[in-house]
Chains A and B, each alone.
Chain A
Amino acid sequence: KAGVTQTPRYLIKTRGQQVTLSCSPISGHRSVSWYQQTPGQGLQFLFEYFSETQRNKGNFPGRFSGRQFSNSRSEMNVSTLELGDSALYLCASSLEGAETQYFGPGTRLLVL
């Protein structure tokens, strides 16, 4: 069974731009969570989607948003990029939210 895939793997943007990251969960998994990883803050939870509904959200500004499609694929969007948004963005999927989460390789975003 294929693992969690994320596209693109690397991205360079400039301040003020917006970006969309994509995550395809493991087949059959309905829950998708997003995390931001930075050297300073470590791993921080962004949000979780289950059956196309956001049911859990971390402490991030409204510039960070996401959605989930009927096939469980998820996207996250960051608008008006700031230098501090440079990070590794990780997506994780699980059968249900409470089950073990399996992570993708991440998208490394650099904001210049």
Chain B
Amino acid sequence: GNSVTQMEGPVTLSEEAFLTINCTYTATGYPSLFWYVQYPGEGLQLLLKATKADDKGSNKGFEATYRKETTSFHLEKGSVQVSDSAVYFCARDRGSTLGRLYFGRGTQLTVWP
């Protein structure tokens, strides 16, 4: 199959806590992997991506490593801020020329001061 599974939310953390949002994928081939973030009332913003095994994507303190052996792409941040409160989506492409993303269900993150 072709799917993306990410941990169910909501996730509630205090400011400066460590964040992990798990994401695993199934795919035939070698897709690129993405994390998108959606703030309330907005569209999706690309947070980070990785295009091949062992690549690490990083942006704004967030990191995720493409693990082919475990088919995972977990999102981590060492110290979250209130402004990180949003919905986070893990996604993969088809690993081909066709432009289509497969998304996880999203994880709502709320950070309290």
Contact = CB atoms under 8 A, between A and B. Distances in A.
B89 interface: yes
Interface string B41-66: 01111100100000000000000000
Nearest to B91: A43
A93 B67 CA distance: 27
A85 to B, nearest CB: 19
B105 interface: yes
B46 A48 contact: no
Interface in A36-69: 42-43, 45, 48, 50, 55-56, 58
A2 to B, nearest CB: 14
28 contacts: A33-B101, A42-B103, A42-B105, A43-B89, A43-B101, A43-B106, A50-B99, A56-B98, A56-B99, A92-B44, A92-B101, A96-B97, A96-B99, A97-B97, A97-B98, A97-B99, A98-B94, A98-B96, A98-B97, A98-B98, A98-B99, A100-B32, A100-B46, A101-B46, A101-B99, A103-B43, A103-B46, A104-B43
A9 to B, nearest CB: 10
Interface residues on B, range: 20 to 34
B43 A45 contact: no
Contact of B100 (A56, A96, A99, A102): A56
B3 to A, nearest CB: 11
Nearest to A99: B99
